Amino acid sequence: MPKTFSSFAPILAIILLPLSAMAASAPTVDVIRVEGPIGPAIAQYIHRAIEIAEQDNAQALIIKLETPGGLDDSMRAIVKDFFNSRVPIVVYVWPQGARAASAGAIITLASHIAAMSPGTAIGAAHPVNIGGEQVDKTMATKIENDAAAYARSIAKRRGRNVEWAEMIVRKSISSTEEEAIKKNVIDIIAKDMRNLLNQLDGRKVKTADGMHTINTKGATLKEIAPSIREKFLHIISNPNVAYILMLIAVYGIIFELNNPGSIFPGVIGGIALLLALYSFAILPINLTGVLLIAFGVILFVTDLFVPGHGILTVGGIIAFIIGSLILFETRTPAMRISMTLVITMTILTAGFFLFAVGAGARAQKLKVVTGAENLVGQVVEARTDLNPKGKVFIEGEYWNAIAEGEPVKKGERVRIIAVDKLTLRVRKENQL
């Protein structure tokens, strides 16, 4: 080591030591982004993020939330993770114009610190009838009372407005960020992440392992991205995607059965079927909806072979639409199939069976028009003298021919009257 460098080494160490100590002691705040309906994939993502934040000894886990609601089971799993977290959970309704509705409102209430951006809304957690069906008054009251009690218990545990929590369930009320902070629903209104961190600094919260004082001064933000599996699970757990996969499976498999050897439609249908079954294992399926869709498909197919004058197709359309609308058992509108998609896919399905499958069915009923049998009755030209044997030319090929009756000269027209293996029996055209 050069003498000049060794003489300055102690000085450099003294200068860099405080900087390295500051970098090592800089607090960490983990951040995730949750957007769209709350489902199993989101619940799994949040669960993993909490585990990572605990391993990081993070000062807090900030969940930037924008959701129209979601599945009740997934929401309850997230709330349970919040209550058992050793890291402070901050739910931040973001960006401006976002909302935390239904399940999102309950999740926000369950956080240690609830924050909202300007121009956002929270609330509207009234349970909707399962699958869009009418339920009796007693059952509806039980569902509502259960949801209201759950919301009240969460608000009470977090020291928030219990009456407001009950009203978002019973009256489906919503509040702006200004109204929410005045009613003790949230703790912070923050215009951006930096402003949020400044307001979080020094706040005390009680987590699963005791009181924590949040230190966000000079904090480093660490983004936790969803894994490939979580992204994939989130996509196929969307009811609209699951519905499309199911129909692709129906199209592909029926087309393959109707046209054996096509291969590609069968492969695509099989893959779609497996993905659809995986989606159905995640989502709450209404068996009546599945049976109605299957019955609609059966009616479509039956109308191709039975002279029903279109009545069966009309019945199939009605059964298909009703089955699609009640396919998923959920009280959350965000987890239902889009009406536009239902109508579009019903039209496409009816068209598929009327034209694609129907064409195959009609083709199977047609008379065979290929092969040697098709040659009988055709008039062709003799390419050699037939006395009685010779050659004729037909469909681009020379055939051996035997003339019955009078001999035929080269160039004369003959009619094929029979096919004997690879030899044609013919007669001069003017003899017929």
The neighbouring-strand residues paired with 210 are: 207
Using CA atoms, how far apart are residues 193 and 210, in angstroms rounded to an integer? 26
Q: Which helix (H) or strand (E) holds 60?
A: strand 60-66
Catalytic residue (one of 20, 80, 142, 227):
142
- Distances 63 to 104, 215, 224, 347 between C-alpha atoms, Å: 11, 17, 10, 41
Instruction: Report DSSP letters for 232-301, one per residue.
Output: HHHHHTSHHHHHHHHHHHHHHHHHHHHSTT--HHHHHHHHHHHHHHHHHHHS-B-HHHHHHHHHHHHHHH
**Cα separation values, 185 from 159, 173, 174, Å:** 9, 13, 11
Active site residue 142: yes
* 8 Å CB contact between 419 and 373: yes
Beta strands 210-213 and 220-223 are unpaired
Cα dihedral 225, 229, 96, 156, rounded to 10, equals -90
- Supply the angle between the helices 72-83 and 137-157 in degrees, to the nearest 10: 20
Enumerate the β-bridge partners of residue 67: 100
Q: Tokens 């300007």 — which residue? A: 118
Establish whether 137 is a catalytic residue.
Answer: no
Q: From edge to edge, which strands make up the β-sheet containing 99-101?
A: 99-101, 121-123, 174-176
Q: How far apart are CA 262 and CA 140, in angstroms?
A: 50
Q: Which of 74, 85, 102, 175 is catalytic?
A: 102
Give the pair of three-digit tokens for residue 210.
Answer: 């005791």
Other beta carbons within 10 angstroms of residue 415's beta carbon come to 16
Angle ∠(192,180,113) on CA atoms, nearest 5: 60
Q: Point out the residues that are catalytic.
A: 102, 142
